[in-house]
Amino acid sequence: MQYAQLGRTGLKVSRLCLGTMNFGPYATEAESFQIMDKALELGINFFDTANVYGWKLGEGVTEQIIGRWFAQGGGRREKTVIATKVYGRMGDWPNQSRLSARHIREAVEGSLRRMKTDYIDLYQFHHIDRLTPWDEIWQACETLVAQGKVLYIGSSNFAGWHIAKANETAKARHFLGLVSEQSLYNLKDRMVELEVIPACRDYGLGLIPWSPLAGGLLGGALEKLEQGRRASEDKQKQINELRPQLEKWEAFCRELGERPADVALAWLLANPVVTAPIIGPRTLEQLTGSLRALSLQLDEAVLKKLDEIWPGPGGEAPEAYAW
């Protein structure tokens, strides 16, 4: 397994991050345990979750599964860098969502209780809160860090200027601030190249891409359909809209002799700002199948061809749209 430091911190995490969103809704608890055990066996030490995963209001189903897995012992908690999130609705009352100091405190305690641990390695804001001032957010986080309940703070789904404002406010408070950003990023969805990636690079944030295969579109969607696999109505619509690009994409991957999913992950790993794409396996086979991307080196000619098939926004802002 390859490891990288998370942003500007000294924390080392695996270059693949195990996403747990499928644990509960799609993978049973037993299957989830097997996947997490296998991940550690493979050297994957970076696990990502959220208090809302499991999609049963206020229950934190996925965090509970992780907690019962930790409780088995065997060094599971000690070997794992666990990342969870706060922001989503955990109840029907007014202060059971977003990033008020009140909700952050309650959400941390809930996540710690469900995951049967006394600290969270990376605590991530699941979304920007436009109503809560940063001084309030950072004061709450400073308390949690001082108490040892949280070690590092990250963001998710932030714009570039959100990252700048958050970290400038943290700097004024002599606080470490954000060390990572979790964004939608893949060959199809490259909007973050305009301002989020430059902000991450400038402020020393590690980028953690979610949906690296664009919901499966980059994982050989056409080939799977030809093999008789079924696709949802929405996925079929997306495939039809992107068919010309997908045909070029899958043909090029065949020319390379590589699986589309591996090329898509390798493309992300080639970006020096990217710490670890999030892989969300439902099965052991999907987990072990992702490892090829770590050893797949894409040369300049391949990267140029991928840009032709999946063009980005044209570079960074403002040069992408101005002189």
Selecting among 53, 87, 152, 185, the annotated active-site residue is: 53
Which amino acid appears at position 10 of this protein?
G
Q: Are strands 278-279 and 17-19 parallel, antiparallel or unpaired?
A: parallel
Instruction: Please state, in angstroms and rounded to a whole number, the distance separating the CA atoms of residues 15 and 251.
Output: 27
Instruction: Please state, in angstroms and rounded to a whole number, the distance separating the CA atoms of residues 123 and 160.
Output: 19
Torsion, Cα 25 279 82 189, to 10 degrees, reads: -100
Residues 32-53, buried b or exposed e (16+ Cβ, 10 A)?
A: bbbbbeebbebebbbbbbbbbb
Instruction: Please state, in angstroms and rounded to a whole number, the distance separating the CA atoms of residues 163 and 273.
Output: 15
Contact between 304 and 236 under an 8 Å Cβ cutoff? The reply is no
Our answer to whether residue 3 is catalytic in this structure is no
Per-residue tokens: 39: 């991940």
Reduce the DSSP state of residue 52 to 3 states and report it.
Answer: coil
Q: Which residues pair with 154 in a beta bridge?
A: 124
Q: Give the residue among 241, 242, 263, 243 at the shortest CA–CA distance from 252.
A: 263
Instruction: Please state, in angstroms and rounded to a whole number, the distance separating the CA atoms of residues 163 and 322.
Output: 23
Residue 206, Cβ neighbours under 10 Å: how many? Answer: 24
Q: Hey, which residues are catalytic here? A: 53
